[in-house]
Each structure stands twice: as structure tokens, then as C-alpha cells.
Amino acid sequence: MSKDTGSRHGGTPLPPSGEPDLGALVDRVKRDAKAWVEAEKAYVSAEISGRIEMAAQPAISFAAAGFLGFLASIAFTVALALGLGLLVGAPLGFLIVTLLYLGGAYLLYVRGRARMKRMLRMQVSKRAAAPEADWAPERGGAE
């Protein structure tokens, strides 16, 4: 009769009864689970770093385009102010361009504020149309 070394159980030696030892099987399951977790961690890490590398190049391009656009707007502002300066004097040209930008900023502020108020009114009307359930706690404090 040949001696079974337990090769079918991953090399775990078999006790005299021929069945693998429960403690040895638990140890093997723990080792296998740890190896699986490590492999998954390595896979996810590689996947994430690959996605970051793929996203880095377009992000750099967008940042560079934004910076160049900012520089172009500065150049346009100076050119516009100097062009007006030829007609009305340099200081007055720069003042006119500054006031134009301030007027545009104010108009955008007013428009944004009006939209924000409209959005807040819509949220309040939605809350009024759908009252809280009887079982829901009151917002802002305990009962």
C-alpha cells in the first residue's frame, strides 16, 4: 500500500485517518484568501493608476489652454485700452475698459442672483407641495 502525502489537498500531510487536518485546511484557506486579496489590491491599484495616467494628458492640455486663454484676455484688455487711449488718452482708455469689465461682471452677478432666487423658490414650493411624512423627524431639532 502506498503512502498518501495529501497532494490533492495542496501538500497538506494527511493524518493517520486519511482525512486532512481541519486546522491545516483553515490555514490554507487563510493563506489563499490573503493571496487573493493581495492580488485584487494589486489589480485595482494598477487599474486606477492606468486611468489616472490616461486622464493626466487631457487635463494638462485643458490647463494649458485655460492659461493661454487667460493670457490672451490680458493681451486683449491691454490692446483695447491702448486703442481707446489713442482716441481719448491712455488713462481714460484704461478706465473705460475697466468700467466695461465691471459692468459685465455686475450684469453676470444680477443674472446669477435672479436664477438663484428662482431656484430657491422652486425648492420651497416643492417642499410645500410634498409635506413631510408624519413619521419623519422635524428638521432642525429633536422633538
Is residue 136, in this structure, part of any structural domain at all?
no
Is residue 105 in some structural domain?
Answer: yes
Total number of domains in the chain: 1
Predicted confidence (pLDDT) per residue in 33-50, tens digit: 999 999 999 888 888 888
Residue 139 lies in a domain: no
Is 34 domain-assigned? yes
Tens-place pLDDT, residues 102-113: 999 999 999 999
Look at residue 1 and tell me if it is in a domain. Answer: no
Condensed to tens digits (0 to 9), the pLDDT of residues 79-126 reads 999 999 999 999 999 999 999 999 999 999 999 999 999 988 888 777
Q: Which domain holds residue 71?
A: 20-129
Whether 10 is covered by a domain: the verdict is: no
Instruction: Tell me, yes or no, whether 64 lies in a domain.
Output: yes
Provide Rg for the chain, Cα atoms. Answer: 36
Residue 140 lies in a domain: no
